[in-house]
């Protein structure tokens, strides 16, 4: 950490002016962040082309502004420390992975610095009416702002270069190539593949697909994979970025992994992250099978925003088989549910009640307990559902249960 003390000849009034300007900027942080981010994107269009990259860049812009301003408000008599916030390191590593160079990093920081300085000048002009005092305030402001950016940028560039060198060394590329060979069933010995991956393929493997349909902090998916591995007493998982916002992770253990432990561990990770879990299977064949089923599970539940945060393939195996033909699946759901397939709130409420009622063995008290309602309310809804269906539940119990499970898991995709 590096700080620059104010010259002893500077009056306390100048320090207070700095505090006032910083507080004014802090009060309009969202507007300031938007202006700086717009300048950043103008010199680096790559950031605007990918929602995840844009979110990471915006988080970095905000974190840098917040750190500088907050420290200046609390201690206007010395320059804020110029250690980069984690968000700044994350976006630098991400753009390196996307093939950018360090020149782009420098351009974005200089563009953001200029936009921040312009906004600072406007605030200073409004808040410091005395010309001589304004000159001194701006002199110190420029020293603090440019010194902060220079220090942060120097450290960010070091981390960016480290990331670029790792990529050039091919560590990630080698892992990706080996994984592709395994998943495509290309002949490779277990020992050789294990050495290249740094992961023992002789174990029992549980593949977890982790993704987010909204922007999350860079590294959050990787951290979630490690959290799940620790929850089942495993060592470091094998993690591979599959796409923007998605990672594949394999957890190696001596035996099968309990889904309940994984589901409980999900409570401690970013709430925007979801997980699809394949069955635990041993050896290279199990490694491949668990991955295939985890990916199939993700494809089934992704986009269903009301779905569970963690879904196991074993939970949806029958649903996955039925949903293999989307058109026929939708025809089946709409034909089976009839008026209950409507998109209005009343139809959704009846579907939910009937779904739980069937899963609870047509036990009205247990259904009422799960829905936090009265037994009579449940019975009224069941009667209304049978009225709309045009037949008793018992006449097509199996078909109804399956159609309701599909609509529960897939939401609008099953009802469209």
Determine which of 10-14, 168-172, 267-271, 405-409 has the lowest per-residue pLDDT on average.
168-172
pLDDT at 6: 43
Q: For 357-378, what is the mean pLDDT?
A: 92
Q: Which of 317, 336, 361 is the endpoint of a domain?
A: 317
Same domain, 275 and 365: no
- Tens of pLDDT, residue by residue over 202-215, are 999 999 999 988 87
Taking the C-alpha atoms of residue 182 and residue 283, their distance in angstroms, rounded to an integer, is 11
Q: 6 in a domain, yes or no?
A: no
- Assign residue 120 the CATH number of its domain: 1.10.490
Together in a domain, 332 and 392: yes
pLDDT of residue 329: 82
What distance in Å separates the CA atoms of residue 6 and residue 3, rounded to the nearest whole number? 10
Q: Are residues 327 and 310 in the same domain?
A: no
Domain that holds residue 369: 323-415
Bridge partners of 5, per DSSP, are 78
More confident residue, 365 or 214: 365
In terms of pLDDT, which residue wins out, 213 or 144?
144
Q: Is the residue at 148 inside a domain?
A: yes
Give the domain CATH number at 346: 1.10.10.2840
Q: Is residue 156, in this structure, part of any structural domain at all?
A: yes
**Based on the domain organization, do 298 and 327 belong to the same domain?**
no
In this structure, the answer to whether residues 348 and 312 fall within a common structural domain is no
Q: What is the mean pLDDT of residues 383-399?
A: 91
Do the domain assignments include residue 268?
Answer: yes
Average pLDDT over residues 165-173: 69
User: Is residue 242 domain-shared with residue 344, that is, in the same domain?
Assistant: no
Do residues 164 and 255 share a domain? no
Query: Is residue 86 over pLDDT 70?
Result: yes
Contact of 223 with 265, CB cutoff 8 Å: no
pLDDT reading at 143 higher than 70: yes
| Mean pLDDT on 310-325 | 82
Structure tokens at 128: 């410091």
- Structural domains in the chain (count): 3
Please write the tens of the pLDDT for every residue from 46-82.
Answer: 888 777 788 899 999 999 999 999 999 999 888 888 8
Which one, of 119, 115, 111, lies nearest residue 44 by Cα? Answer: 111
Query: Residue 303: is its pLDDT beyond 80?
Result: no
Q: Does some domain include residue 178?
A: no
Are 122 and 75 members of one domain? yes
Return the number of other C-beta atoms located less than 10 Å from residue 292's C-beta. 14
For residues 237 and 363, state if they share a domain. no
Q: Which of 294, 317, 340 is the last residue of a domain?
A: 317
pLDDT of residue 106: 94
Measured CA to CA, the distance from residue 240 to residue 175 in angstroms comes to 8
Same domain, 16 and 161: yes
Is there a domain that residue 75 lies in?
yes
Query: Nearest to residue 316, comparing CAs of 336, 332, 302, 333?
Result: 302
Query: Is there a single domain that holds both residue 25 and residue 139?
Result: yes
User: Each residue of 326-349: pLDDT tens digit?
Assistant: 788 888 888 899 999 988 899 999
Per-residue pLDDT at 162: 84
Measured between alpha carbons, how far is 62 from 54 in angstroms, rounded to an integer? 12
Query: What is the overall mean pLDDT for the chain?
Result: 88
> What distance in Å separates the CA atoms of residue 131 and residue 4, rounded to the nearest whole number?
25
Percentage with pLDDT > 90 across the chain? 58
DSSP 8-state assignment for residue 340: G
* pLDDT of 38 strictly over 50: yes
CATH number, position 230: 3.30.70.100
* Confidence bin at 408 (pLDDT 50/70/90): confident
Does residue 7 form part of some domain? Answer: no
Read off the pLDDT of each residue in 169-176 and give the average, rounded to a whole number: 73
Using pLDDT thresholds of 50, 70 and 90, give the confidence band for residue 40: very high
Q: How many helices (H) and strands (E) does the chain have?
A: 19, 6
Is 327 found in the same domain as 310?
A: no
In angstroms, how far is CA 362 from the centroid of its own chain?
38
Instruction: Decide: 64 and 152 in contact? Cβ < 8 Å.
Output: yes
> How many whole angstroms separate alpha carbon 118 and alpha carbon 17?
17
Q: How confident is the model at residue 97 (pLDDT cuts 50, 70, 90)?
A: confident
Q: Residue 181 falls within a domain, yes or no? A: no
362-393 burial code (b ≥16 CB/10 A, e <16): eebebbbeebeeeeeebeebbebbeeebeeeb
Position 22 scores a pLDDT of 95
pLDDT recorded at residue 10: 45
pLDDT tens digits along 246-295: 899 999 999 999 899 999 999 999 999 999 999 999 999 999 999 999 99
């Amino acid at each position: 950490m590096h700080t620059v003390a104010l010259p002893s000849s500077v009056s306390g009034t100048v320090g207070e002016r700095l505090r006032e300007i910083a507080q004014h900027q802090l009060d309009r942080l969202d507007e300031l962040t938007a202006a700086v981010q717009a300048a950043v994107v103008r010199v680096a269009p790559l950031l605007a082309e990918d929602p995840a990259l844009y979110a990471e860049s915006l988080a970095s812009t905000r974190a840098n502004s917040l750190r500088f301003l907050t420290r200046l408000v609390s201690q206007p008599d010395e320059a804020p420390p110029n250690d980069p916030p984690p968000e700044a390191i994350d976006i630098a590593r991400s753009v390196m992975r996307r093939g950018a160079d360090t020149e782009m990093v420098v351009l974005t920081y200089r563009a953001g610095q200029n936009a921040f300085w312009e906004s600072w000048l406007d605030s200073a002009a409004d808040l410091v009416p005395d010309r001589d005092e304004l000159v001194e305030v701006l002199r110190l402001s420029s020293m603090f702002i440019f010194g902060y950016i220079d220090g942060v940028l120097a450290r960010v560039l070091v981390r960016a270069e480290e990331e670029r060198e790792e990529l050039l060394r091919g560590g990630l590329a080698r892992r990706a190539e080996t994984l592709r060979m395994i998943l495509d069933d290309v002949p490779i010995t277990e020992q050789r593949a294990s050495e290249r991956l740094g992961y023992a393929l002789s174990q029992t493997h549980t593949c977890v697909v982790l993704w987010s349909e909204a922007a999350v902090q860079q590294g959050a998916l990787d951290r979630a994979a490690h959290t799940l591995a620790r929850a089942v007493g495993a060592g470091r998982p094998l993690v591979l970025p599959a796409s923007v916002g998605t990672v594949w992770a394999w957890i190696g253990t001596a035996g099968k992994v309990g889904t309940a432990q994984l589901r409980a561990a999900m409570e401690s990770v970013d709430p925007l992250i979801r997980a699809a879990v394949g069955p635990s299977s041993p050896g290279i064949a199990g490694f491949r099978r668990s991955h295939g089923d985890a990916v199939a599970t993700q494809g089934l539940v992704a986009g269903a925003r009301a779905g569970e945060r963690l879904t196991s393939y074993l939970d949806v195996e029958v649903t996955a088989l039925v949903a293999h033909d989307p058109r026929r699946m939708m025809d089946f759901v709409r034909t089976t549910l009839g008026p209950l397939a409507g998109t209005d709130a009343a139809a959704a409420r009846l579907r939910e009640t009937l779904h739980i009622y069937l899963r609870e063995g047509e036990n009205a008290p247990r259904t009422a307990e799960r829905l936090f309602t009265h037994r009579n309310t449940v019975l009224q809804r069941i009667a209304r559902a049978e009225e709309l269906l045009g037949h008793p539940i018992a006449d097509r119990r199996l078909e109804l249960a399956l159609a309701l499970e599909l609509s529960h898991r897939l939401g609008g995709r099953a009802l469209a």
